[in-house]
Structure 1
Amino acid sequence: MKLGWLEATVLTAATFASAKDLAYSPPYYPSPWATGEGEWAEAYRRAVDFVSNLTLAEKVNLTTGAGYVAHSYETARGIELVLTAYADGSKNTVSVRPVVSPADYNSGFPAGVNVAATWDKQLAYQRGVAMGEEHRDKGVDVQLGPVAGPLGKYPDGGRGWEGFAPDPVLTGVMMAETIKGIQDAGVIACAKHFIGNEQEHFRQAGEAQGYGYNITESVSSNIDDKTMHELYLWPFVDSVRAGVGSVMCSYNQINNSYGCSNSYTLNKLLKGELGFQGFVMSDWGAHHSGVGDALAGLDMSMPGDVVLGSPYSFWGTNLTVSVLNSTIPEWRLDDMAVRIMAAYYKVGRDRVRTPPNFSSWTRDEYGYEHNIVSENYVKLNYRVNVQRDHANVIRKIGSDSTVLLKNKPGALPLTHQERLIAILGEDAGSNAYGANGCSDRGCDNGTLAMGWGSGTANFPYLITPEQAIQNEVLNYGNGQTNVFAVTDNGALDQMAAVASTASVALVFVNADSGEGYISVDGNMGDRKNMTLWKNGEEVIKTATAHCNNTIVIMHTPGSVLVGDWYDNENITAILWAGLPGQESGRSLVDVLYGRVNPGGKTPFTWGKERKDYGAAILTEANNGNGAPQDDFNEGNLIDYRRFDKDDVEPIFEFGFGLSYTKFEFSDLEVKALKADKYEATTGKSKHAPVLGKSEKASENLFPSGINRVRQYLYPWLNSTNLKESAADPDYGMDAKDYIPEGATTGTPQELLPASGPSGGNAGLFEDLIQVTATITNAGTVAGDEVPQLYVSLGGEDDPVRVLRAFDRVSIAPGQQIQWTTTLNRRDLSNWDVASQNWVISSAQKKVYVGNSSRKLPLSADLPTVQ
């Protein structure tokens, strides 16, 4: 049943979980069909032409992966179809990584959190291009990234480093630039994980059972309508506006409906409100039903099988049967296929596509094409080197993302005049097993340059800090500097001995996290705590007790608790280097020796205690053996917004970062711009297009001339008896018992008030205010500054301030520049649940400009706008 706006809102803003009253996600049907508006017009036209000439089985083939263990093939007619994101895809966010076995001769890029720490839109784009080029040259159609889910509700969440920052604007901008880069290189980007995927605990019931939790359903992220729009949906809006070709639905439930089965989030929010024109792809194993998920808005089942490695699929043959018996309308299948092919044409895959030249399963040159059934022994890996000159952008991101958190006069930069440099800590050195010695980086041995899980890749090499510092001294020093390293964190006596004679002690410490299918030292993806790993605090304590010039360098996926040591008088400098990728050591040395003036800003808040951040990760089942209930009761108050609202002083605030020079802000000017009155979207959609002709079961029997591979997922029928072909015990169930009301209608539908073809109502993105400020480099060296603009929306329940604009600018010593930015209607609006639209409230709004969320020397009231 389609609900009225107010009724739907009441249900969405659900009373949160208790044993008898669980959060509820209301139905929204039918699934909106693509329209090809705006920049999608040509790709949509070509997709319609292509799909119109396909058979029913060929359209089904586009929607269903060939199985977790299979490779793509060509249809009987010789039309090469897109089995995206399996053998042709890459399940990662930092480089080319097939589903199981990481590829070779590829780069190991910095993590998303490092890109956010640069606050540099151009670098985000350049990294996107470089990753896209590597995927393209390996024969990949879809890169499974970038990431806006998790956004960062939990500072100790396992996969936050794959994304960008716990702020929707910073994440949204970096998402958009990354997507543009990937797709400009000719590869489809996939924005993930949609939506509310904020912790690893309980994200998959089966995975949690493996850890001993007696649950039968995955965690439900219970999010109210206002929080959804103002926080978690925001960066996906920017992704859609950037033209992203695909979106991956998540493992978790949202308001007790699975991410890939949730008609409200997929049909209403993503396709209806945001006007998303690409295709929705399931995460691996996140597909939960055949008919239900198809009607709820899922367009592609990956990797296709019900259980990874099984010969069964919710779709494939079953989808063919569902269309033939009219359980799923043919227009819905047509829309799936058109969305897939429109994304294909939009990025130019028809012009630049290379057949896959690597295996998802082995690095051996020869092996079985179909791994699990050991069939077809062929050449699998062609060892194509795709690295190009990408080491340059990796090194620059690494140095430009390094955040200088503390620096006493004379500490940094180093001068090459140091008498003795002590390098202390395991995090400075090599993994004794080799840089790729732990599968999917599932350990914390040696220096940390990448988190763990499916978002990782193999390193082509890894320059450690120890190697880079020693090379720096040998190549550029005065020949008189001694360098000694102790990289065993248990060798505290040896560290003390070296530190006591050092003119500077460089102490390397880390903390790690990753995806939930791997547990490292009892950390099941999410971190158990926010302290340093491997005796890190004791390493720092030992160094500071014996050297009054101790510099601490941290490699972490996010914030750690530094309150016990950051203000030690013998700690003269602190650097956060994040997860910088293969050029880790060289990027760091560029900053340590002043070739790069640090301009990175922390993309998250460093608190004094874990409780300062708000709710803890849900680690105990709270709903019997049903779905654990994760209530997002904090609304949009996460990270710095929480600290500001609670008036809690952080150690290092969001957006903070020092430089080797000094910047000053002055001359704030605010000007209202002419803009049209905002009008809610009205009217109806067009009728759902139906392409091609209706077919009979006899026209979809398995064709002759194809060598049938065991467990391969095909779209064809074995029999004209649909029940037998479906092999589904519920086949005979009366459709009215499980088809939601309105789910199969293709008649014109009412448009949503905030909807539009590219991220929502076009009026939301119209500029209303221009803001200008002067920035002066008052120091003696050139450097980069990051001007940040925050807005107070003025409401009692609003955050104190929210980030709305930023840039990274290079300024010579003594130079002044004028920085100008704008605020659009969305920037100044709140989501109104009653009208289901964005509204600028009557509260007085104020703008702040500075270089961190708490260092905002310029402020002004904003003029009234509508």
Structure 2
Amino acid sequence: MRDAWLVALAAGAAGIANAEYHSPPSYPSPWANGAGEWAEAYQKAVAFVSELTLLEKINLTTGIGWESGQCVGNSGSIPRKNFRSLCMQDSPLGVRDTDYNTAFPGGINVGATWDVNLAYLRGKAMGEEHRGKGVDVQLGPVAGPLGRVPEGGRNWEGFAPDPVLTGQMMAYTINGIQDAGVIACAKHFIGYEQEHFRQGSQENYTISDSISENIDDKTMHELYLWPFADAVRAGVGSVMCSYNQINNSYACSNSYTLNHLLKGELGFQGFVMTDWSGQHAGVGDTLAGTDMDMPGDVAFNSGTGFWGANLTIAVLNGTVPEWRVDDMAVRIMSAFYKVGRDTNQVPINFDSWTLDTYGNEYYYAGEGYKQINQHVDVRANHAQVVREIGSRSAVLLKNVNAALPLTGREKYVAIFGEDAGANIDGVNSCSDRGCDNGTLAMGWGSGSDNFPYLVTPEQAISAEVVKNGGAFTAITDSGAIDEAKTIASQASTCIVFANADSGEGYIEVDNNWGDRNNLTLWKNGEAMIDAVAGECNNTIVVLHTVGPVLIEDWVHHPNITAVLWNGIPGQESGNSLVDVLYGTVNPGGKTPFTWGKKRSDWGTDILYVPNEGESAPQQNFTEGIFIDYRHFDKANITPTYEFGYGLSYSTFSFSDLQVQTIPAPPYVPFNGTTKSAPVLGTVLNATAYLFPDYIRRIEAFIYPWITSTNLKAASGDPHYGWPTSKYVPAGAQDGSAQKINPAGGGPGGNPALYDTVAKVTVTVKNTGAVVGDEVPQLYVSLGGPDDAPKVLRGFTRLTLQPGEETQWSTTLTRRDVSNWDVAKQNWVVTNYTKTVYVGNSSRNLPLRSTLLLKL
């Protein structure tokens, strides 16, 4: 086995000795206790695991190897208990690598709806499709990346660079997935904010270690950890640790983030799963809090594993205590029972490696020929959910003299730009959507899935124009600038389409290695907009982008009458767009990020070049909590469009702000101890775990059996027998009762954090002539010199008839008005004056009131 098996966890947790940032060790790994809504599932899990052998427990925790099962990740099975391999499958927007599935909008579009009910419906629909394909764990939703840098390649998989908006969308998505009977996996934990160097070497740079995202304690709690706390409170069954290092300790080896923060402070009861090849040690990761490794092999198809037989050896030689493996298995089975997998499970009926009907069950080994794809259609009526989210996430940025909605009486409509049309090679021709050909409806990487079809803007708009008796032309060649000018000078209505794409770092598109190289439009977008606007005095621009782009140079052009952002809306893209363009749906989306005037306005950027003299690139989060609108506010930078902004075909007013203080008991740090770690089995001598003669080995498959009773020989590790103190940190094997984190004590942290401290009520009125949606937004100023000028703390989406008014009420919790105190290692409500603001964007807050707390 590689030397990495004996990586010193103490050194890994403490970080590089000469590094400015380090992650303190935290041991032992907290064991599950079935707290709260987990009680019944925990009891079932304990009963099940108590009947397992050591090898069966290890099979639960260990992946069988890349391309050794039909899913992107499979655990081992337990034939004696008729327990099949668990199936882990991407993605956070649908079932990846299969057919007859739905291509849902990206998370960023869900964030733009500001509608938690739509987040739930999407989650439920995705969960139903995963369940129908035989999936046990859906690898989503995403709160990491949060969106520290606008160029971040996978930002679109998540919801917004704001912890409250993201946290609420995470919680409702998780509820939807798990209500469908599938385990949700919140990812990527934590600080995974760029693709460059996430796994070490990239492009022309050869480096030995993954990037270290260096985050201070206050920023961790008030920003990046916040939405994961919401995920834990929602009962998420699984959390995926990320590729990057945090403060110079790998995420899946980081005892502070996994043991102290996630399992200790947040009280997480489910299991921690590695990202694919995110494991860097065997004993180390086990003791640091990782519970399942995926896909199970050290390198894809290597046939070697940090766990499997090596975990068996680690238990036999006493390096890993038996209670720790028991807890790993209990956590996995608790999540299994919590979502009802024991009653909802169907056979795996697809194969991630081919869409052929017949093929090899063990794809890499080329063995087990059978029917591997049953082509089960799991789509139901989910296209309706896709279309609704697509239209309700549309953000109207500009609309001069009611240019939109279109009336249907337009004489000659012309559309321009490659983004309006189809991928000429086929909708799924680029693996994992790794190209930007045709209209953009999904980013690239493992966060994607296959389109069953894609309704393009060209198809949908042309059908509408023809139905209404108008004339129509489409120019979808991005280089046909002269032709575009000619047609634009003739058309009565011109619609220009442009996009900007990004994705996961293992795919490069136009020299963009996951992260965007810039914030400009792709495929000649600016040139096409300029050409058309120069000739057509009714130019409408539609943007399909994964995040903000720079539009300041053209958005104020007098001939550009409307600008609509539609994100990455999924398979119903054109239909959703037509619903908005022609007024069937009144746009009510709000931008889930800030649109700066120039790239430097955000104050953060990707680390594109490794730091000199460092074995691992170092990205210091020196901006702290000040990302996106928080930074713009602090630096007093005027954006093109602010966070939370979005127009409507109607108008709305806000009035009568009322803030009612609700007395709450004092905040008391949690004081208590756990029970000792339960031991649920008996470890036999090494002979009982030898590889049996009756098992035929499958090439590259990861097994739990050992090959020799000589454990050193079985491990293949030249350093086997080193003193335990060299690589087992103090306390890591201690199964005695432990003190509970004072900031913990319940799901998401100390239960007192969720006491209600105030009720806020405001009157919202539709002052326009058509039915429309408005999103009242509640912001709070915490008042301190190191605080943001304001932070989002509440929102909802309302549908109001013309002239209708309603009262919107929401509450504030102690958590909403607290700061993280680094010295006290707990949450505190400071003595600074708190102020409440209400309006419909982060910079349009007409109502304000001082918040007088009774704590």
TM-score (norm 2): 0.97
1:747 aligned to 2:733?
no
* Greater Cα shift, 682-691 or 400-409: 682-691
Structure 2 distance, partners of 1:521, 1:290, is 38
2:400 to 408, 414, 417: 408
What does 1:150-549 correspond to in 2, within 5 Å? Answer: 150-206=145-201, 208=202, 211-475=203-467, 477=468, 479=469, 481-549=470-538
Structure 1 distance, partners of 2:786, 2:621, is 15
* Greater Cα shift, 672-681 or 584-593: 672-681
User: Residue 702 of structure 1 aligns to a residue in which SS?
Assistant: coil
Q: Residues 265, 75 of structure 1: CA spacing in aligned structure 2 closer, same or farther, 3 A cutoff? A: closer
1:138 aligned to 2:133?
yes
Structure 2 distance, partners of 1:80, 1:231, is 43
AA in 2 matched with 1:507: V
Structure 2 distance, partners of 1:81, 1:840, is 49
Structure 1 distance, partners of 2:322, 2:632, is 51
1:648 aligned to 2:637?
yes
Query: Given that residues 767 and 803 in structure 2 are in contact (C-alpha distance below 8 angstroms), is that contact kept between their aligned partners in structure 1?
Result: yes
1:551 corresponds in structure 2 to: 540
User: Residue 546 of structure 1 aligns to a residue in which SS?
Assistant: coil
Query: Given that residues 196 and 513 in structure 2 are in contact (C-alpha distance below 8 angstroms), is that contact kept between their aligned partners in structure 1?
Result: yes
AA in 1 matched with 2:91: N
Query: Given that residues 68 and 365 in structure 2 are in contact (C-alpha distance below 8 angstroms), is that contact kept between their aligned partners in structure 1?
Result: no
Q: Deviation digits for residues 5-37 of structure 1, max 9, x if unmatched?
A: xxxxxx9999x99x9443111100000000101
Query: Given that residues 462 and 582 in structure 1 are in contact (C-alpha distance below 8 angstroms), is that contact kept between their aligned partners in structure 2?
Result: yes
AA in 2 matched with 1:59: K
1:801 to 787, 790, 796: 790
Deviation of 1:698 after TM superposition, in Å, equals: 1.8
1:863 to 832, 852, 855: 852
1:116 aligned to 2:97?
no
Q: Deviation digits for residues 31-56 of structure 1, max 9, x if unmatched?
A: 00001010000000000000000000
2:557 corresponds in structure 1 to: 568
Deviation of 1:726 after TM superposition, in Å, equals: 2.0
Structure 2 distance, partners of 1:205, 1:81, is 37
User: Residue 39 of structure 2 aligns to a residue in which SS?
Assistant: helix
Q: Residues 704, 350 of structure 1: CA spacing in aligned structure 2 closer, same or farther, 3 A cutoff? A: farther
Q: Deviation digits for residues 473-506 of structure 1, max 9, x if unmatched?
A: 233x1x2x10100000100111111111111100
Query: Given that residues 214 and 625 in structure 1 are in contact (C-alpha distance below 8 angstroms), is that contact kept between their aligned partners in structure 2?
Result: no
Q: Residues 395, 504 of structure 1: CA spacing in aligned structure 2 closer, same or farther, 3 A cutoff? A: same
1:660 aligned to 2:659?
no
2:4 corresponds in structure 1 to: none
1:830 corresponds in structure 2 to: 819
Query: Given that residues 623 and 629 in structure 1 are in contact (C-alpha distance below 8 angstroms), is that contact kept between their aligned partners in structure 2?
Result: no
Query: Given that residues 777 and 795 in structure 2 are in contact (C-alpha distance below 8 angstroms), is that contact kept between their aligned partners in structure 1?
Result: yes
Gaps of 5+ in 2: 1-10
2:801 to 804, 812, 827: 812
2:714 corresponds in structure 1 to: 725
Structure 2 distance, partners of 1:132, 1:390, is 11
AA in 1 matched with 2:194: Q
The count of corresponding residues between Structure 1 and Structure 2 is 841
2:751 to 759, 762, 767: 762
User: Residue 409 of structure 1 aligns to a residue in which SS?
Assistant: helix
Deviation of 1:625 after TM superposition, in Å, equals: 5.2
2:598 corresponds in structure 1 to: 609
Structure 2 distance, partners of 1:615, 1:400, is 30
1:147 aligned to 2:146?
no
Structure 2 distance, partners of 1:865, 1:606, is 38
User: Residue 860 of structure 1 aligns to a residue in which SS?
Assistant: strand
1:96 aligned to 2:95?
yes
Query: Given that residues 13 and 223 in structure 1 are in contact (C-alpha distance below 8 angstroms), is that contact kept between their aligned partners in structure 2?
Result: no
Q: Residues 172, 76 of structure 1: CA spacing in aligned structure 2 closer, same or farther, 3 A cutoff? A: closer
Deviation of 1:614 after TM superposition, in Å, equals: 0.5
Q: Residues 282, 13 of structure 1: CA spacing in aligned structure 2 closer, same or farther, 3 A cutoff? A: closer
What does 1:608-647 correspond to in 2, within 5 Å? Answer: 608-624=597-613, 626-647=615-636
User: Residue 205 of structure 1 aligns to a residue in which SS?
Assistant: coil
Structure 2 distance, partners of 1:20, 1:324, is 36
Structure 1 distance, partners of 2:702, 2:199, is 24
Q: Deviation digits for residues 834-858 of structure 1, max 9, x if unmatched?
A: 1111000000000000000000010
Q: Deviation digits for residues 71-101 of structure 1, max 9, x if unmatched?
A: 26975753244643xxx2212211111xxxx
AA in 2 matched with 1:188: I
Deviation of 1:249 after TM superposition, in Å, equals: 0.2
AA in 1 matched with 2:112: A
Q: Residues 732, 641 of structure 1: CA spacing in aligned structure 2 closer, same or farther, 3 A cutoff? A: same
Give the share of equivalent positions with the same residue, in percent.
62
Q: Deviation digits for residues 531-551 of structure 1, max 9, x if unmatched?
A: 001110010001011100000
Q: Deviation digits for residues 392-431 of structure 1, max 9, x if unmatched?
A: 0000000000000000113000001101001111100000
Q: Deviation digits for residues 93-132 of structure 1, max 9, x if unmatched?
A: 11111xxxx1111010000000000000000000000000
1:44 to 42, 45, 65: 42
1:738 aligned to 2:727?
yes
1:848 aligned to 2:837?
yes
1:677 aligned to 2:666?
yes
1:578 aligned to 2:574?
no
Query: Given that residues 277 and 339 in structure 1 are in contact (C-alpha distance below 8 angstroms), is that contact kept between their aligned partners in structure 2?
Result: yes
Q: Deviation digits for residues 812-851 of structure 1, max 9, x if unmatched?
A: 1000100000000000000001111100000000000000
User: Residue 380 of structure 2 aligns to a residue in which SS?
Assistant: coil
Q: Deviation digits for residues 715-761 of structure 1, max 9, x if unmatched?
A: 11222222222222222222121110010000111111110231110
1:22 aligned to 2:14?
no
2:3 corresponds in structure 1 to: none
Structure 2 distance, partners of 1:73, 1:843, is 51
Structure 2 distance, partners of 1:764, 1:261, is 29
Structure 2 distance, partners of 1:313, 1:686, is 33
Deviation of 1:623 after TM superposition, in Å, equals: 4.0
User: Residue 192 of structure 1 aligns to a residue in which SS?
Assistant: strand
Structure 2 distance, partners of 1:661, 1:73, is 53
Structure 2 distance, partners of 1:113, 1:708, is 45
2:780 corresponds in structure 1 to: 791
* Greater Cα shift, 622-631 or 272-281: 622-631
AA in 2 matched with 1:201: H
AA in 2 matched with 1:472: E
User: Residue 505 of structure 1 aligns to a residue in which SS?
Assistant: strand
Q: How well do the aligned residues superpose, as a CA RMSD in angstroms?
A: 1.6
Q: Deviation digits for residues 360-415 of structure 1, max 9, x if unmatched?
A: 21111111211222112111111111111000000000000000000011300000
TM-score (norm 1): 0.96
Gaps of 5+ in 1: 1-10
2:7 corresponds in structure 1 to: none
Deviation of 1:704 after TM superposition, in Å, equals: 4.9
Query: Given that residues 12 and 225 in structure 1 are in contact (C-alpha distance below 8 angstroms), is that contact kept between their aligned partners in structure 2?
Result: no
Structure 2 distance, partners of 1:399, 1:755, is 40
Q: Deviation digits for residues 179-230 of structure 1, max 9, x if unmatched?
A: 0000000000000000000000111114x1xx11121100000000000000
Query: Given that residues 275 and 294 in structure 2 are in contact (C-alpha distance below 8 angstroms), is that contact kept between their aligned partners in structure 1?
Result: yes
2:62 corresponds in structure 1 to: 64
1:79 corresponds in structure 2 to: 81
